[in-house]
Amino acid sequence: MAAGPESARRGAYYAAPGNRFWRVLHQAGFTPRRLLPEDFPELPGLGIGLTDLAKTQSGVDRLVRVTQADRDRLLAAIRAARPQALAFTSGRTAALALGAKALPFGRLDDALRPPGFPPVFVLPSTSGSNNGNWDRNGYHLHWMHTAMALGFRKA
């Protein structure tokens, strides 16, 4: 949604110590090795880009106030970049960005994505605040299936 406090301080995505993002990105098959938050500039070379929904704020996601300008900026950036696919790393962020009440994990039905958008995937959050749900709910499977669907991982 927005840079968390530690990510903002370090100038690197998913930098909080309890965040699983970099471990899960590698375990799911998106990267050939486990990267560190400061390695995020390597991602475009692997066919992966990162951005936030709210670029003018930082903080804990539940306290970030997303505006229509945030949504418009993100949608314009996606249309300009023309990625092969789009993955949200939070169901709440995906819903806010796409103007939905709630969205299921996995690949979204084409009717739920904005016109002209690539396939959209909604992934469980890797935030430390979600760690208690991660193993119990098999959240890693959503990440692995997305990596396979996009050709990063072989079955």
Closest by CA to 16, choosing from 2, 29, 32, is 2
∠ at Cα 61 (2, 135), nearest 5°?
110
- In the chain, the domains with their CATH numbers are 5-149 (3.40.470.10)
**H-helix or E-strand spanning residue 122:** strand 120-122
For the entire predicted model, the pTM comes to 0.91
Kindly report, residue by residue over 103-143, the tens digit of the pLDDT. 999 999 998 888 888 999 999 999 988 888 888 889 999 99
pLDDT-above-90 percentage for the chain: 62
- The amino acid at residue 73 is R
| Residue 55 scores a pLDDT above 90 | no
Give me the mean pLDDT over the 52-57 stretch: 83
